[in-house]
Amino acid sequence: MKGITGKGVFISGGCGDIGRAVAARFLEAGARVVLGDLLPERAGRAAAKRLSPTAARYVRCDVTSVPSVARALKQAIAFLGRIDVAISNAGTVTNQPFLAVTADAWQRTLDVNLTGSFNVAQQAARLMMKNPRRGRARRGVILFTGSWVQEMPWPHGASYCASKGGQLMLMKIIAQELAPHGITANIVAPGMVYAGLTKAIYDRDRRFAKLVDRTVPLLRMCSAEEVAGSFLHLASDDAAYVTGTSIVIDGGASLVRRE
């Protein structure tokens, strides 16, 4: 993939299944990566070392806290030299019927998924504005882990769907405002991924599992590795003219099966 070698990449939620898969793809392509997450330091450093003892690092990062994000990015720059790609991947989900959604669950989901995305994107963009620019070439890439439900309702998904719908509009505003400054913004929107939060729910909730199985036209969930390739593409020179859009990786789920 063109234009990845030597790039500095920051990934929030970097120690989760999708985060690690994305980090691995960037490392394979010659980038250097910092994983931001909430693991204890020892566990986080071990996760980064397993990916690469020399080209990956771990920093503690709470995306709901501006000081924490700013501190994590400062530490990332100390290792990377500069932030070329920032991926807002940290997320949470609580599935509840609308009438049962608690104020705490609603707020927590928005805090992590939407406000967390805002915090990472804004802090990273401010640093990217300091990156040298050649002519009208890109000086930074901001990417989000969205979801296919950002534009389609899902049962018991009031807080999650709302947070991802808000993230979609946030991305478009960022793309629109920062394009003249050489910074692109896009979303990778997975469908049913057998990883992280969805994997945990799928394995413990048979009703949810049956719903998933009859929703996806390709008749299977996708892997974290299948999601990771789209992040790499959007950060590469092949996608330098792509901004303000979503790549939906849902196995056709948004097409809605009719049988």
Mind telling me the catalytic residues? Answer: 147, 160, 164
Cα gap 113→123, rounded to integer Å = 16
Question: Of 11, 46, 53, which Cα lies nearest the Cα of 228?
Answer: 11
Phi-psi label, residue 156: left if phi above 0, alpha if psi -120 to 50, beta otherwise: left
Placement of tokens 């993230």 in the chain:
167
Q: Which residues contact 12 (CB under 8 A, 6 or more apart)?
A: 19, 36, 37, 61, 63, 69, 72, 87, 88, 89, 90, 116, 120
What would the 3-class secondary structure string for 155-212 be? CCEHHHHHHHHHHHHHHHHHHHHHHHHCEEEEEEEECCECCHHHHHHHHHCHHHHHHH
Cα gap 105→191, rounded to integer Å = 22
Q: What's the one-letter identity of residue 191?
A: G
Q: From the CA atom positions of the chain, what is the Rg in Å?
A: 18
In eight-state DSSP terms, residue 112 is I
Is 44 in contact with 23 (CB distance < 8 Å)?
no
Cα gap 246→182, rounded to integer Å = 19
Q: Which residues contact 98 (CB under 8 A, 6 or more apart)?
A: 156, 158
Q: What's the one-letter identity of residue 77?
A: I
